[in-house]
Amino acid sequence: MSQAQEESVASNLVSHTEYDAVVVGAGFAGMYMLHRLREKGLSARVFETGEGVGGTWYWNRYPGARVDSPSMQYSLSFSSEMEQEWKWSEFYSPQADLEKYANHVADRFDLRRDIQFGTRVVGASFDDDTKRWLIETDRGDSVSAKYFITAAGCLSATNVPNFKGIESFEGQWYHTSRWPAEGVDLTGKRVGIIGTGSTGIQAIPVLAEQSEHLHVFQRTPNYSLPSNNTKMDPAFEQEWKQTYPQHRQAARESAVGVEIPAFSDRSALDATEEERQAAFEGAWGNYAALLATFNDITTNPEANEFVAEFVRNKIRQTVKNPEVAELLAPKGYPIGTKRICIDSGYFETYNRDNVTLVDVKTNPIEEITPTGLRTTADSYDLDVLVFATGFDAMTGPLFRMGIVGKDGLSLQDKWDAGPRTYLGISTVGFPNMFMITGPGSPSVLSNMTTSIEQHVDWIIDTITYLKKNGLENIEPMAEAEDQWVEHVNEVANLTLYPRANSWYLGANIPGKPRVFMPYVGGVGNYRKKCDEVVANNYEGFELTG
């Protein structure tokens, strides 16, 4: 933090105790929410655990961290001036650029004076008498707010598996999303990494370059495509900036919040082998295009298997050792049902002499030892252990806030069998609480910045409506929530998604209910539904006061 930022934080320790709104999190969602609340003349306080803005891009500083949506689209659209002025240096931005951009947003809109950094919300309860939310932090703040708005991200609650012996490890260990800002010097170090999801796949090539030897402990291989990342092409940037409104509109109406190629109207089963190979080769490097090559890749296991095998063959062509290649080739779940990764030289990394792949599916990790790690087959001496083991996604960040609604009902108890929301933005029993990109909304299946802006705008329009009409409270009705939950499940079951043990289903966290959490019905359709609800006088909500 700069001196100016530190002074701003110091002068902003809570001096008020009553706000119109309290927002949790100062990533893109929390910052844009604050900006819009202020525009409407509402008082707001943002609490942020980190010492700076950026959310995901503040925390995830691991080597190789990079966004997998194109930079021109993974950005905020609400200010056309900012859109025109800001310059992205690469097609897919690295973490440092995104954190810089987040700081620019905070400075440009003078947001820091209403953000309290280094402060975790540890309790938020609805007071049945005053109809206000009481929010408590780990720094002893106790404030009240009419509206309680969560902007804590879907992937912010880290998951470090409960490995036996972890406390005995005499080296250093890090979770990728808590990587030290000053970096870690891995020169001459024997490094082990557990996890080969999007994070592991990005980190592994860089860790291999930096360390003496890298052991990769892989349980489930992932489908990954080369990102073909490049420096930003000035002509491409120019074209986008000249036509930004049209591009943004297309993203808002799209399936996933970024412009993607239209789905083919043909089944993969109707094509010849040559036609399929040509289509897959043409889409190689663009996972959305790959899934759109035929109209049944995401819904028909047979069609999906054609693409899956195409990707496996790419891995077999890249990795020189056939046994290692076979271990890296994903099998047993359809492509696209776990987040497809994009990488920079991931599979090529296994051709290096200083990289060893260890199959911990066949020989699971038994324990972490003082000197490394032991599987059922072997022991490994390590100086540094990296956990790329993901997150308690979507519900984890909300549960960790200790949210309690009407009649003392905690969110955790209410969602004991899985999240239940109306539109992924609200839940019965928790009046005037809004969840930005909550479970039951497109969120993690979409370009986050597109979905964040849609939710924030909807929340602001709703608060404005309530005020204009002299209304105090908004809460969904049980029937509307039941129907929405049913619909979210119904559309997920039309796809192949439920066939993988993914974090979308909570399958990565022992004991978490197996429920498909995000809404797969598409960003454009979802937006229409939210707008219809408003047009029909907040259909499905009870407005009182």
Binding positions for ligand N01, 131-190, rule CB under 6 A: 155, 161
In angstroms, what is the minimal distance from the CB of 331 to ligand N01?
13
Interface with ligand N01 (CB under 6 A), residue total 25
437 scored as a contact of ligand N01 (CB under 6 A):
no
| Backbone conformation region of residue 228, classed left if phi is above 0, alpha if psi is from -120 to 50, else beta | left
219 scored as a contact of ligand N01 (CB under 6 A):
yes
In angstroms, what is the minimal distance from the CB of 497 to ligand N01?
13
Tell me the residue type at 479: E
- Nearest residue (CB) to ligand N01, 37 versus 154: 154
In angstroms, what is the minimal distance from the CB of 339 to ligand N01?
3
390 scored as a contact of ligand N01 (CB under 6 A):
yes
199 scored as a contact of ligand N01 (CB under 6 A):
yes
Q: Which residue of 111, 225, 324, 360 would you call a contact of ligand N01, by CB under 6 A?
A: 360
Tell me the residue type at 422: Y
Q: Which residue of 503, 516, 519, 526 would you call a contact of ligand N01, by CB under 6 A?
A: 503
448 scored as a contact of ligand N01 (CB under 6 A):
no
200 scored as a contact of ligand N01 (CB under 6 A):
yes
Cα separation, 461 vs 467, in Å, equals 10
In angstroms, what is the minimal distance from the CB of 46 to ligand N01?
23
Tell me which H or E stretch contains 19.
strand 18-24
In angstroms, what is the minimal distance from the CB of 511 to ligand N01?
14
Cα separation, 404 vs 106, in Å, equals 30
* Per-residue exposure over 167-183, b if at least 16 CB sit within 10 Å of its own CB, e if not: eebebebbbbbebeeee
Q: Which residue of 125, 254, 389, 451 would you call a contact of ligand N01, by CB under 6 A?
A: 389
In angstroms, what is the minimal distance from the CB of 324 to ligand N01?
17
Longest dimension (CA), the chain: 70
Place of tokens 């108890």: 413
DSSP state of 158: B
Q: Which residue of 202, 426, 450, 451 would you call a contact of ligand N01, by CB under 6 A?
A: 202
- Nearest residue (CB) to ligand N01, 66 versus 132: 66
- Nearest residue (CB) to ligand N01, 64 versus 521: 64
DSSP string, 223-263: -EEE----BPPHHHHHHHHHTHHHHHHHHHHSSSSS--PPP
| Backbone conformation region of residue 203, classed left if phi is above 0, alpha if psi is from -120 to 50, else beta | alpha
In angstroms, what is the minimal distance from the CB of 355 to ligand N01?
16
Q: Which residue of 388, 436, 459, 517 would you call a contact of ligand N01, by CB under 6 A?
A: 388
- Alpha-helical (H) ranges within 319-417 are 322-328, 395-399, 411-414
Of the listed pieces 26-34, 41-49, 198-206, 231-239, which binds ligand N01 according to CB under 6 A? Answer: 198-206
Of the listed pieces 277-285, 389-397, 416-424, 534-542, which binds ligand N01 according to CB under 6 A? Answer: 389-397
In angstroms, what is the minimal distance from the CB of 293 to ligand N01?
22
Q: Which residue of 27, 195, 205, 518 would you call a contact of ligand N01, by CB under 6 A?
A: 195
285 scored as a contact of ligand N01 (CB under 6 A):
no
Pick from 157, 159, 178: which is nearest to 402 by CA? 157
Cα separation, 95 vs 56, in Å, equals 9
- CB contact at 8 A, 201 and 222: yes
Cα separation, 14 vs 1, in Å, equals 19
Binding positions for ligand N01, 63-82, rule CB under 6 A: 66-68
DSSP state of 422: B
Q: Which residue of 196, 395, 426, 449 would you call a contact of ligand N01, by CB under 6 A?
A: 196
Cα separation, 298 vs 287, in Å, equals 12
Q: Which residues bind ligand N01 (CB under 6 A)?
A: 66-68, 155, 161, 194-200, 202, 219-220, 339, 360, 365, 388-391, 444, 503, 508
